[in-house]
Amino acid sequence: MQLELSAEDAAFRDEMRTFFTTEVPQEIRDAVANRRELTKDQIVESQRVLNAHGLAVPNWPVEWGGKDWSPLRRHIWHEEMQRADVPAPLAFNASMIGPVIAHFGSQEIKERFLPATANLDIWWSQGFSEPDAGSDLASLRTTAVRDGDEFVVNGQKTWTTLGQYGDWIFTLVRTDPDVKKQAGISMLLIDMTSPGLTVRPIELIDGGHEVNEVWFEDVRVPAGNLVGELNSGWTQAKFLLGNERVGVAPVGGTKRVLAQAKDWARETGQLDDPLTSSRIAELENELLALELTALRVVAHSADGKPHPASSVLKLKGTELQQAVSELVVDLAGPASLATGAGDDSDLPWWSRRATPAYLNLRKASIYGGSNEVQRQIIAKTILGL
Ligand SMILES: Cc1cc2nc3c(=O)[nH]c(=O)nc-3n(C[C@H](O)[C@H](O)[C@H](O)COP(=O)(O)OP(=O)(O)OC[C@H]3O[C@@H](n4cnc5c(N)ncnc54)[C@H](O)[C@@H]3O)c2cc1C
């Protein structure tokens, strides 16, 4: 998008551009550019570089490391970060539990967790979904029963992304089984090294290890680890999920892959095909419209609370992300199936990674609340149906 920037905002953009392209290690940026999986150490290192310069959590309140930036500057920060192939700060920390603690947590919880969360000294996992509570999250059955100064937690969470790296898990638990289901939920912060807590990998069809089950068997959690009031967890969950939806709509990342795809189409002579070039132009237009929506969502988010249009962003953003991954498979043609070929192969690297990336991204329309559920939210809260 070509925005008419004021001289001050243009200087800010240049400052961000210089920072992201000079301070974050090149090998981390290369891994992002070449769509390679980042190691835990690379994700931590990158976030610490950002945090050391006050650029990891600009969306947080200023007293906890946030920036009092205009929505446009937040957009520029995000754009330049993605443009430079810098990994975004870990979403579980920066856009999920951090804002929740800053908004709902006691002073003691804020002091204890926020600095370590911004610096990724603590790697957070998200303990919301259960085998029978995904879209219908309020049906969750993991219980927390008060016993003196502690809660005793029993139950199971599932689909816990990168739970194998997790130090702590923000967990929705049932603290009152006798009221309307939304009214009996609380949020507890749980140390993942606690006795009785087990993380079990879910092996994916491609052999990858991205998600896990987390089991709780009489896990004792200090009562002081409750976020906000007892039984107010549903309010915090809705707040967090709205922010998660904004975070999972990868506008900048999709733009970057589409720009790469256009280069690949040019290199392979396919850009001369009117069907291919119009398909690319259509995707570019749709991404531009999405980008404007993203700016509107940021502009209308008040006090860390997401705008209802975050559901539009999540829905459309993930649809476009999947559409671009499909385009890359088509551009690669039969080479997209040559996933076993090594780096010494004559086939270009991007074509060999096309099908795994396409298949992996099927998840995007499910996580963060499935796209069918986003349509329901849009129908109710935006269209008033
Ligand atoms: C890769 C990945 C990573 C994830 N990471 C995490 C994580 O770190 N932490 C965490 O807590 N959770 C995580 N999740 C879980 C995710 O939030 C749930 O998968 C999601 O909310 C859907 O729930 P479900 O899988 O139980 O499907 P279900 O709720 O059983 O839905 C099954 C199908 O029915 C449709 N459906 C359900 N209800 C409705 C309705 N009312 N109207 C129309 N259609 C409906 C859904 O759209 C879906 O297509 C992750 C999921 C994935 C795929």
Q: Which residues, in sequence order, are CB contacts of 7 under 8 Å at separation 6+?
A: none
Q: What is the pLDDT of residues 107-145, one digit of tens each?
A: 999 999 999 999 999 999 999 999 999 999 999 999 999
Q: Which residues pair with 145 in a beta bridge?
A: 152
**pLDDT given for residue 303 in this prediction:** 56
Q: Does the pLDDT of residue 296 top 80, yes or no?
A: no
Selection from 308, 277, 275, 312 nearest residue 292 by Cα: 312
- Sort 114 into a burial class: Cβ within 10 Å, 0-12 / 13-18 / 19+: buried
**pLDDT given for residue 316 in this prediction:** 94
Distance CA 32, CA 42 (A): 11
Give per-residue burial for 173-195: e unless 16+ CB within 10 Å, then b: bbbeeeeebeebbbbbbbbbeee
Identity of the residue numbered 144: A
**For residues 178, 180, 181 and 183, what is the CA-based torsion angle, rounded to 10 degrees?**
-90
Q: Is the CB of 64 under 6 A from ligand 1?
A: no
Q: Does the pLDDT of residue 380 top 70, yes or no?
A: yes
**pLDDT given for residue 339 in this prediction:** 85
What is the pLDDT of the chain when averaged over all its residues?
93
Q: Does the pLDDT of residue 53 top 60, yes or no?
A: yes
Q: Is the CB of 187 under 6 A from ligand 1?
A: no
Please report how the helices 71-83 and 251-267 are oriented relative to each other, as an axis angle in degrees rounded to 10. Answer: 40
Q: Is 244 a catalytic residue?
A: yes
C-alpha 352 – ligand 1 centre gap (Å): 29
Q: Does the pLDDT of residue 23 top 60, yes or no?
A: yes
Cβ–Cβ under 8 Å, residues 223 and 177: no
**pLDDT given for residue 140 in this prediction:** 98
C-alpha 287 – ligand 1 centre gap (Å): 25
Q: Is the CB of 365 under 6 A from ligand 1?
A: no
Spell out the alpha helix ranges (H) of the chain: 7-22, 26-33, 40-52, 71-83, 91, 98-104, 107-118, 233-248, 251-267, 274-299, 310-332, 349-352, 354-360, 371-377
Which of the following is catalytic: 80, 130, 210, 244? 244
288 pLDDT tier (thresholds 50, 70, 90)? very high
299 pLDDT tier (thresholds 50, 70, 90)? low
Q: What is the pLDDT of residues 87-109, one digit of tens each?
A: 999 999 999 999 999 999 999 99
308 pLDDT tier (thresholds 50, 70, 90)? confident
- Residues 237-259 have a mean pLDDT of 83
